[in-house]
Amino acid sequence: MPTITEQVAGQTGFRELFDRYYPVICRQLTCLLGSRSAAEDVAQETFIKLYQSPPREPYNLGGWLTRVSANLAYNHLRSESSRRRREFGAGHLVTKRAAGPEEELLRSEEVALTRQALEHLSERDRACLLLKFSGMNYAEIARVTGVKKTSVGTVLARARAKFRREYTRIKGSDDGELL
């Protein structure tokens, strides 16, 4: 069986890895970033990293890709947040025009509130929640985050509670069912 480096170096091997993992990585990033186009950009960057410097351990390529893509997504979110603060500070607040009916407006407000609440969680809690809601099981979450498999359920329960508190605090009300 060829090593990861040999697979990545070969044109067909890299294509097979890309075809296998890209949809999963892109789905996870879409949940994390809230934007399909941003997710595709970060996923592409993830596979560039795979091509340029593949992992030393070939047995957990999916976990490696998930971890690298999550780190790149966090960097992307931080740079976006920083960009928005700079624009606001310069007096050039970028506003989006509502592109649809009232439901679209409500949905975008919910997305913004959710992102804001997620920003108040620790990186570990945020990652566990996002990975769980992108379809990963406890074993996969444990492998990616470094949390013990037996502790993932507890971490998720506490992260949900923290998220719920932050969301309610930001929104300023107790209505709505969350997570």
State pLDDT tens for residues 9-34.
555 688 888 999 999 999 889 888 88
Of the residues 95, 120, 143, the one at which a domain ends: 95
Residue 161 lies in domain:
97-179
Listing DSSP states for the chain in one string gives ---HHHHHHSHHHHHHHHHHHHHHHHHHHHHHHS-HHHHHHHHHHHHHHHHHS--S-GGGHHHHHHHHHHHHHHHHHHHHHHHHHHHHHTT----PPP-SSHHHHHHHHHHHHHHHHHHTS-HHHHHHHHHHHTT--HHHHHHHH---GGGHHHHHHHHHHHHHHHHHHHHTS--S---
**More confident of the two residues 9 and 162:** 162
pLDDT at 40: 92
- Give the residue-averaged pLDDT of 80-92: 59
Which tens digit of pLDDT belongs to each residue from 50-84? 888 888 877 788 889 988 998 898 888 877 766 66
Q: Are residues 103 and 50 in the same domain?
A: no
* Same structural domain, 67 and 137: no
pTM equals 0.48
Q: What is the CATH number of the domain that holds 51?
A: 1.10.1740.10
* Shared domain check, 35 and 105: no
- How many percent of the chain have pLDDT more than 70? 78
Average pLDDT, the chain: 79
If asked whether residues 149 and 178 sit together in one domain, one would say: yes
pLDDT of 173: 55
Q: Identify the residue with better confidence: 85 or 63.
A: 63
User: For residue 66, which of 35, 118, 37, 27 has the smallest C-alpha distance?
Assistant: 27
Number of domains in the chain: 2
Residues 6 and 59 in one domain: yes
56 and 89 in a common domain: yes
**54 in the same domain as 107:** no
Residues 110 and 60 in one domain: no
Q: Are 16 and 7 in contact (CB under 8 A)?
A: yes
Residues 38, 125, single domain; the answer is no
